């Protein structure tokens, strides 16, 4: 094989990996629309979108209640989450220093990986009884859904806001202080406005998570397809509608669920588009133009005019106090959740629970679900890793800035990253389970999860390739090595810790997700016999146990196991990230 042929071969191989992202998005969209749109027209567009009754047995498929409830829940959770999240981030970035800052930030990022079933379970066991006693209602409904969602989106908003506040140039702060602003005034009048676009991007991601969240909502919303009249009415969301009925729906009913997915997808696309516009805007900094404001020139400027000044720091002091309150609420509630679950769950963890045989006499063991989860992780990574790293190599090593195709590639990958997990679950069930005839199996689950974690792996590996100093490549090329050899022998080894970060993050995601595996891997309590057999992942197991009244203690124990697994994985990824950072620093210094 000639050298040129070999180089081209590699180039196109990496290109194919990268294009897989586009193909995945295209196929998902095409598949959902191809099955969903005819259903919408069968039912009648207006009857479907604006129909207020969802009674599949009677052939009534109106999803207005789900649309409205989804928006209610998202709006409610966002209004809490934004205030708590942004002010917490302000506290973290501007009012706390050193160790405390590092510890709190680590804690928030560790919490960002906690599976949604765990949050849902907490809502079920703690918030709902409390609200039920307090209000004399059933408890399940809009209010608790909003609270649970706001806790879930909190880490996302805090972390992104924190980063954008931290990236505001220090000179703005100094400039404000030099003009006589106090620390509080500089923070709230200068730094916060300067970080605005980054914060808004974080909020948009939070909205996306709130609209797309499934399992936690199903556990606390009550799932009644009626428009909520009050905070304490039970609700059903778009995501809930899909997951509740897709297990048994057939014919038009199933197509109506797919159409629900189309509507959900539409909302998500709108949100992602907003996100892309905003991040582009923040990159372009300030636009030209906008010269509407003029002031009336005063011809005679003299100085007998001297407005009285007053030093009023009340408003910004209040904001400072607010940010202290917000961080306290955020940290205390997150800590309370963890401690509560541990206190209730740890006593039930024993060898029998971890490694015993599942028998139908009421004793629970998690061994089958542990094995299934492990198999799912191995198989998913085996598929996703080559594709993702290949795609990352292509984006980092073979593209030029400003190329339209590459831009399209990137936005496809962004879109894939923003699609709610239930859409992957629905798509996986329709395509891999049914059309590919894989049945409920680890295979089907792994293919579905591959689509989910691909963007994470592509992104982290691209970033770590870009962080490899250009001089390494030049050194290798100057010795006569080809591009592919340079990539495999020099770039890839230097970027390995970054890739490992991506892998570990993805593992956390596979462990924690339940909506995509519920109807692909299945819910079989038995030990899987191989990749082709069905099983149950730990997160889904937790969901099932939570729904069964007589296994509450075991559900707490599973929650603890899940939290420990996810937090361990997050800690490992942080370690890799620190190694990468250190390496880059050393490379820069040399």
Partner 1 sequence: MKLKIKNNNTCDNFFTQKTDIITENLNLYYGNFHALKDVNCNIKEKMVTSMIGPSGCGKSTLLKTFNRMNDLVEGCKISGKVVIGGKDIYANGIDVSLLRKNVGMVFQKPNPFPMSIYDNVAYAPRTFGIRKKGELDYIVQKSLVKAAMWDEVKDRLNRGALTLSGGQQQRLCIARALAAEPKILLMDEPTSALDPISTAKIEELCLELKENYTIVIVTHNMQQAGRISDYTAFFLLGELVEFNTTDNIFESPEDERTENYISGRFG
Using CB under 8 A as the binding rule, whether residue 291 contacts partner 1 is answered as yes
Query: Can you tell me which of 283, 294, 470, 590 binds partner 1, judged by CB under 8 A?
Result: 294
Query: Can you tell me which of 99, 136, 308, 590 binds partner 1, judged by CB under 8 A?
Result: 308
For residue 98, the minimal CB distance to partner 1 (Å) is: 10
- Nearest to 86, CA basis, from 180, 214, 264, 206: 206
For residue 311, the minimal CB distance to partner 1 (Å) is: 6
Using CB under 8 A as the binding rule, whether residue 44 contacts partner 1 is answered as no
CB within 8 Å of 530: residues ≥ 6 apart: 442
For residue 301, the minimal CB distance to partner 1 (Å) is: 5
CB closer to partner 1 out of 195 and 337:
195
Using CB under 8 A as the binding rule, whether residue 99 contacts partner 1 is answered as no
CB closer to partner 1 out of 107 and 194:
194
Query: Can you tell me which of 99, 229, 250, 287 binds partner 1, judged by CB under 8 A?
Result: 287
Query: Can you tell me which of 2, 99, 293, 586 binds partner 1, judged by CB under 8 A?
Result: 293
Using CB under 8 A as the binding rule, whether residue 283 contacts partner 1 is answered as no
The Cα 380–Cα 396 span in angstroms is 23
Secondary structure letter of residue 536 according to DSSP: -
The count of other CB atoms within 10 Å of the CB of residue 164 is 23
- Burial degree of 413 (CB within 10 A; 0-12, 13-18, 19+): buried
Sign of the Cα pseudo-torsion (120, 122, 124, 128, in order): negative
CB closer to partner 1 out of 178 and 321:
178
**What is each CA distance from 510 to 442, 454, 516, in whole angstroms?**
12, 12, 10
Query: Can you tell me which of 1, 4, 58, 289 binds partner 1, judged by CB under 8 A?
Result: 289
For residue 316, the minimal CB distance to partner 1 (Å) is: 9
- Nearest to 122, CA basis, from 541, 567, 558: 558
Using CB under 8 A as the binding rule, whether residue 493 contacts partner 1 is answered as no
For residue 86, the minimal CB distance to partner 1 (Å) is: 18
Sign of the Cα pseudo-torsion (235, 239, 244, 249, in order): positive
Provide the Cα torsion 110, 112, 117, 121; round to 10°: 70
Using CB under 8 A as the binding rule, whether residue 312 contacts partner 1 is answered as yes
Using CB under 8 A as the binding rule, whether residue 171 contacts partner 1 is answered as yes
CB closer to partner 1 out of 251 and 290:
290
For residue 235, the minimal CB distance to partner 1 (Å) is: 41
- Phi/psi at 519 (5° precision): -110, 20
For residue 287, the minimal CB distance to partner 1 (Å) is: 7
CB closer to partner 1 out of 190 and 523:
190
For residue 178, the minimal CB distance to partner 1 (Å) is: 4
For residue 200, the minimal CB distance to partner 1 (Å) is: 14
The Cα 306–Cα 340 span in angstroms is 60
Lookup: tokens for 511: 């462990």
CB within 8 Å of 578: residues ≥ 6 apart: none
CB closer to partner 1 out of 58 and 298:
298
- Tell me the per-residue interface mask from 188 to 227 with partner 1, x by CB under 8 A, - otherwise: -xx--xx---------------------------------
CB within 8 Å of 534: residues ≥ 6 apart: 439, 440, 441, 442, 521, 522, 523, 524, 528
- The residue assigned the tokens 């060898």 is 351
CB closer to partner 1 out of 304 and 586:
304
Interface contacts to partner 1, rule CB under 8 A: 169, 171-172, 174-182, 185, 189-190, 193-194, 285-299, 301-312
């Amino acid at each position: 094989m000639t050298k040129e042929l070999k180089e081209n071969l590699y180039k196109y191989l990496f290109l194919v990996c990268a294009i897989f992202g586009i193909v995945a998005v295209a196929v998902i969209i095409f598949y959902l629309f191809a099955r969903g749109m005819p259903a919408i027209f069968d039912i009648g567009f207006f009857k479907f979108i604006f129909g207020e009754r969802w009674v599949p047995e009677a052939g009534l498929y109106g999803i207005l209640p789900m649309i409205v409830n989804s928006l209610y829940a998202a709006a409610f959770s966002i209004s809490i989450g934004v205030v708590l999240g942004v002010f917490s981030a302000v506290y973290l970035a501007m009012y706390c220093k050193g160790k405390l800052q590092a510890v709190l930030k680590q804690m928030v990022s560790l919490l960002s990986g906690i599976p949604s079933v765990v949050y849902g379970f907490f809502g079920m066991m703690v918030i709902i009884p409390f609200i039920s006693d307090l209000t004399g209602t059933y408890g399940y409904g809009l209010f608790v859904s909003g609270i649970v969602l706001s806790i879930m989106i909190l880490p996302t908003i805090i972390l992104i806001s924190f980063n954008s506040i931290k990236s505001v140039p220090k000179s703005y702060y100094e400039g404000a202080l030099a003009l006589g602003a106090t620390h509080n005034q500089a923070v709230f009048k200068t730094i916060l406005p300067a970080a605005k676009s980054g914060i808004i991007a974080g909020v948009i991601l939070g909205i996306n998570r709130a609209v797309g969240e499934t399992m936690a909502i199903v556990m606390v919303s009550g799932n009644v397809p009626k428009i909520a009249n009050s905070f304490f009415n039970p609700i059903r969301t778009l995501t809930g509608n899909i997951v509740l009925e897709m297990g048994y729906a057939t014919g038009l009913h199933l197509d109506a669920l797919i159409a629900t997915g189309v509507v959900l997808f539409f909302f998500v696309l709108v949100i992602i588009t907003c996100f892309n516009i905003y991040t582009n805007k923040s990159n372009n900094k300030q636009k030209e133009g906008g010269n509407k404001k003029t002031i009336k020139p005063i011809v005679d400027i003299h100085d007998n005019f001297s407005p009285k000044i007053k030093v009023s720091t009340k408003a910004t002091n209040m904001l400072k106090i607010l940010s202290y309150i917000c961080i306290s609420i955020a940290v205390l509630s997150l800590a309370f959740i963890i401690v509560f679950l541990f206190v209730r769950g740890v006593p039930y963890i024993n060898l029998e629970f971890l490694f015993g045989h599942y028998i139908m006499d009421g004793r629970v063991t998690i061994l089958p679900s542990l094995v299934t989860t492990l198999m799912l992780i191995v198989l998913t990574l085996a598929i996703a890793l080559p594709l993702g790293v290949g795609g990352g190599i292509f984006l980092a090593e073979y593209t030029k800035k400003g190329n339209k195709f590459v831009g399209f590639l990137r936005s496809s990958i962004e879109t894939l990253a923003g699609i709610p997990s239930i859409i992957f679950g629905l798509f996986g069930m329709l395509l891999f389970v049914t059309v590919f005839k894989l049945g409920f199996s680890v295979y089907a689950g792994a293919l579905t999860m591959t689509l989910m974690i691909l963007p994470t792996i592509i992104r982290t590996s691209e970033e770590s390739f870009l962080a490899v100093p250009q001089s390494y490549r030049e050194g290798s090329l100057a010795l006569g090595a080809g591009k592919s050899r340079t990539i495999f022998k020099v770039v890839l080894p230097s970027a390995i810790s970054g890739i490992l970060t991506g892998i570990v993050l993805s593992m956390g995601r596979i462990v924690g997700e339940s909506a995509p595996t519920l109807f692909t891997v299945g819910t079989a309590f038995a030990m899987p016999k191989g990749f082709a057999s069905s099983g149950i992942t730990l997160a889904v197991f937790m969901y099932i146990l939570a729904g069964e009244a007589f296994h509450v203690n075991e559900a707490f124990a599973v929650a603890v196991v899940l939290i420990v697994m996810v937090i361990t994985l997050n800690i490992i990824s942080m370690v890799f990230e620190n190694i990468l950072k250190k390496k880059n620093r050393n490379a820069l210094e040399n």
